[in-house]
């Protein structure tokens, strides 16, 4: 569950609202000292002595209140920088750190919570990138995000049983080991298995494989685990996903490039590259029907 399941919303010139945190907050108990009965024969205190004050209760701000304050401050800073209303939502995403939409005279902005205590230079970069459309500011944001990786929520590492490499027709571990030894000199370190079959519905595209950089896991679409799918094509998909560990995505002109030039050049060296692309084009309809 996200730490900010509903995000932070704002509707004024620069406001932000904080959703309930993932874990319930522990209430701070107010402890009142137990007073012993005053003996009746006790003499009254001297006139110059001030009467005892009632114990003061400390007000501890909750995480929700602290988040509200920081989000409101960031919204005001961005609004002052841009001279326009900012509707801010704070997220706990794992992939998209910054997204925005400009409409009318307001900016609707979604930011990862790492930006709540960002320095002024990064706040200006957010304003330039989202509010003014300066794509060059995206390079600075990419650098900041890379430095904040420990604050990005880690996905739960699934057990070996959940990541099953043995299918009805193909053993992904055997394919992975062969590809690693043949093309990568066994330098790739990853786990591999079949993904879950998605609900049946009409689709126009299909993602045949995915590599997760945080968990170093490769998941292959189960639609490929069929006898009519040639082994060289499944091997090509495994090869493609392994390349992502060798050539991670890069930032260029404020945009995220998932397949940089070095990635594409290396991919074309696969011996059955042309045949794999041709088979995919000719059989896409079969794969979409799953």
Residue whose entry in the numeric block shows the structure tokens 């990786």: 149
Average pLDDT over residues 194-209: 74
pLDDT above 70: residue 86: yes
Q: How confident is the model at residue 253, as a pLDDT?
A: 56
Lowest mean pLDDT across 45-54, 192-201, 230-239, 240-249: 45-54
Residue whose entry in the numeric block shows the structure tokens 């390349």: 243
Q: How confident is the model at residue 33, as a pLDDT?
A: 35
Residues 6+ apart with CB under 8 A from 193: 162, 163, 164, 165, 172, 217, 218, 219, 220
Q: Measuring CA to CA, how many Å separate 211 from each of 139, 218, 237?
A: 23, 5, 11
Average pLDDT over residues 138-159: 75
67 compared with 29, residue with greater pLDDT: 67
C-alpha torsion sign, points 178, 184, 189, 194: negative
Q: What is the token pair recorded at 232?
A: 């060289």
Q: How confident is the model at residue 14, as a pLDDT?
A: 45
In this structure, the dihedral spanned by the alpha carbons of residues 118, 119, 121 and 123, taken in order and rounded to 10 degrees, is 40
Q: How many CB atoms lie within 10 A of CB 243?
A: 21
- Sorting pLDDT into bands at 50, 70 and 90, what band is 204? low
Residues 6+ apart with CB under 8 A from 248: 213
The strand pairing partners of 88, in sequence order, are: 109
Q: How confident is the model at residue 170, as a pLDDT?
A: 96
User: Mapped to the 3 state alphabet, what secondary structure does 201-224 carry?
Assistant: CCCCCCCCEEEECCCCEEEECHHH
Spell out the domain ranges in the chain.
1-22+62-153, 172-289
Distant-in-sequence contacts of 36-40, Cβ < 8 A, 24+ apart? none
pLDDT in tens, 186-195: 989 899 999 8
Q: What is the token pair recorded at 80?
A: 């002052």
pTM for the model stands at: 0.48
Looking at domain 172-289, its CATH class is alpha beta
In this structure, the dihedral spanned by the alpha carbons of residues 275, 281, 285 and 290, taken in order and rounded to 10 degrees, is 50
pLDDT above 90: residue 254: no
Q: What is the token pair recorded at 260?
A: 């940089």
| Angstrom distance (rounded) from CA 271 to CA 280 | 16
pLDDT above 70: residue 287: yes
pLDDT above 80: residue 2: no
Find the length of the chain.
290
pLDDT above 90: residue 46: no
pLDDT above 80: residue 201: no
**E strand or H helix that includes residue 112:** strand 106-112
Question: Do 253 and 135 contact (CB within 8 A), yes or no?
Answer: yes
Average pLDDT over residues 59-81: 79
Of residues 64, 65, 62, 57, the one with CA closest to residue 5: 64
Of residues 104, 97, 150, 149, the one with CA closest to residue 125: 97
Q: Give the chain's mean pLDDT.
A: 76
Residue 166 DSSP symbol: B
Q: Tell me the backbone φ, ψ of residue 251, rounded to 5 degrees.
A: -100, 130
Q: Tell me the backbone φ, ψ of residue 141, rounded to 5 degrees.
A: -65, -40
């Amino acid at each position: 569950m996200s730490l900010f399941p509903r995000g932070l919303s704002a509707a004024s010139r620069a406001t932000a609202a904080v959703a309930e945190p993932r874990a319930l907050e522990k209430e701070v108990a107010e402890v009142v000292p137990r007073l012993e009965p005053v003996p009746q024969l006790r003499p009254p205190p001297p006139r110059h002595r001030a009467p005892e004050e009632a114990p003061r209760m400390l007000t501890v701000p909750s995480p929700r209140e602290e988040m509200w304050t920081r989000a409101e401050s960031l919204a005001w800073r961005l609004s002052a920088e841009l001279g326009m209303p900012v509707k801010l939502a704070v997220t706990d995403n794992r992939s998209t750190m910054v997204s925005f939409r400009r409409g009318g005279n307001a900016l609707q902005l979604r930011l990862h919570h790492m930006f709540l205590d960002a320095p002024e230079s990064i706040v200006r970069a957010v304003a330039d990138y989202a509010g003014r459309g300066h794509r060059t500011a995206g390079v600075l944001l990419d650098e900041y995000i890379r430095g904040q990786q420990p604050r990005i929520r880690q996905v739960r590492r699934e057990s070996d049983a959940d990541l099953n490499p043995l299918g009805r027709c193909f053993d992904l571990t055997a394919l992975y080991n062969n590809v690693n030894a043949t093309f990568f000199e066994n330098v790739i370190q990853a786990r591999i298995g079949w993904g879950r079959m998605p609900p049946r519905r009409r689709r126009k595209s299909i993602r045949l494989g995915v590599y997760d950089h945080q968990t170093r896991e490769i998941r292959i679409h189960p639609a490929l685990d069929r006898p009519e799918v040639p082994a060289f094509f499944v091997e090509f998909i495994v090869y493609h996903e392994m390349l992502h560990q060798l050539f991670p995505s890069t930032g260029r002109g404020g945009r995220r490039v998932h397949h940089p030039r070095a990635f594409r050049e290396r991919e074309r060296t696969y011996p059955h590259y042309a045949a794999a692309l041709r088979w995919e084009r000719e059989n896409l309809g079969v794969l979409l029907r799953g």
